[in-house]
Structures are given as structure tokens and as C-alpha cells.
Amino acid sequence: MHLSIEIIVVISGNNYCYIFSFRLMNTLGGFLMTLKDAKPGMLVKVEAIEASELKDRLMSMGMVKGTKVKVLRSAPLGDPIAVSVRSFNMSIRLSDAAKVTVTQIS
């Protein structure tokens, strides 16, 4: 069973505001994150894809649970990112990458 919980704590006062974000670990010991959070060079494993218009298309291209994905690079302004899925490379917008939950492998 995989657990994806993010806790955000906001502490504010007259002249300050602190925001703390915590992610819980899944049962395999790796951190759950989204594909958007993965950095170039990271190898990740797909854990889930949120329901969206793009979900069926990503799954038909081989991005299903358990698939290894390597983040290749990002555009100069950060959006989109290039990833390697199975035997091909593709670009994915950050808004769509945020809907793909992954675990870092290396």
C-alpha cells in the first residue's frame, strides 16, 4: 500500500510568514513525489496517474504503474520537461507532470 500525504504548516505574524511542507514516505522507503518535482538525471518509477484528459494518452504510450522514467532535461524556463519512457523520449508540460506520482529509484 502506498501513502501520499503532504502536510503544510503555515505560521504567520505581523512581519513574517513561515511555510513548512512535509511529505510522508511510502511503504517501500522511497519518497513519493510528482514527476514535476523530479530533477534532470533522476530515474523514477511511476506509482499512479491522477484522472485527467491526458491519463489515457500517457498510459497508451507506456507510462503505467511500475514503469521506469528518466528525466532528461527541462526547457530554459522550466516548462516543459523531457523524459525517457521505455524506448522513446517525450516532452510533458509541468501541469501534466504534476498529476504523475513517482518514487525515486536513483
Q: Using one digit for the tens of pLDDT, what is the confidence trace for 44-65?
A: 999 888 888 888 888 888 888 8
pLDDT in tens, the chain (106 residues): 455 566 666 677 777 666 665 555 554 556 788 888 888 998 999 988 888 888 888 888 888 888 999 999 988 887 899 999 988 899 999 988 888 989 888 7
- Classify strands 81-85 and 88-92 as parallel, antiparallel or unpaired: antiparallel
pTM: 0.68
User: Is residue 50 included in any domain, yes or no?
Assistant: yes
Task: Report how many domains make up the chain.
Answer: 1
User: Is residue 11 included in any domain, yes or no?
Assistant: no
Identify the domain containing residue 54 by its residue range.
27-104
Which CATH number covers residue 57? 2.30.30.90
Number of neighbouring beta carbons within 10 Å of residue 61: 13
User: Is residue 9 included in any domain, yes or no?
Assistant: no
